Amino acid sequence: MTLEEMIQAIARDRSRPAFVGLFEHFAPRLKSYVMRLGADERAAEEVVQETMLMVWRKAAGFDPRRAAASTWIFTIARNKRIDRIRREARPEIDPDDPLLASPPPETADLPLQRRQHGDRLHTAISALPEEQAAMVRLAFFDDMSHRDIAREHSLPLGTVKSRIRLALLRLRRDLEDLE
Partner 1 sequence: MPRFHVQEDLLIDYASGALPAPVSLLVASHLTFCRRCRDEVGEFEAIGGMMLEDLNPIAMAADALEQALDGLNDADAVADQAATLTSIAKRGESTGLPAPLLNAFGGEMGGISWARRAKGIEEATLATDDVRYSASLMRIQPGVSIPNHTHEGEELTLVLGGGFSDGGAHYGAGDVCRADAEISHAPVADPGEACLCLVVADGPVRLTGLVGRMLNPFLKL
Q: Looking only at residues 94 through 133 of this chain, which bind partner 1 when binding is defined by CB under 8 A?
A: 105-111, 113-118, 121-122, 125
Q: 12-31: which residues touch partner 1 (CB under 8 A)?
A: 14, 16, 19-20, 23-24, 26-31
Residue 86 is a binding residue for partner 1 (CB under 8 A)? yes
With b meaning 16 or more CB within 10 Å and e meaning fewer, what string describes 156-178?
eeeebbebbebbbebbeebeeee
Residue 79 is a binding residue for partner 1 (CB under 8 A)? yes
Q: How far is CA 103 from CA 40, 41, 98, 142, in A?
A: 10, 9, 10, 24
Task: Please state the closest distance from residue 131 (CB atom) to partner 1, in A.
Answer: 16
**Residues near partner 1 (CB under 8 A), total:** 79
| 80: helix, strand or coil | helix
Q: Are 142 and 39 in contact (CB under 8 A)?
A: no
Task: Please state the closest distance from residue 98 (CB atom) to partner 1, in A.
Answer: 19
Task: Please state the closest distance from residue 154 (CB atom) to partner 1, in A.
Answer: 18
Nearer residue to partner 1 within complex by CB, 5 or 143 = 143
Residue 77 is a binding residue for partner 1 (CB under 8 A)? yes
Residue 81 is a binding residue for partner 1 (CB under 8 A)? yes
Binding string, residues 33-52; x marks residues near partner 1 by CB under 8 A: x-xx-------xx--xx--x
Quick one: DSSP state of residue 157?
H
Q: How far is CA 135 from CA 138, 165, 169, in A?
A: 5, 9, 13
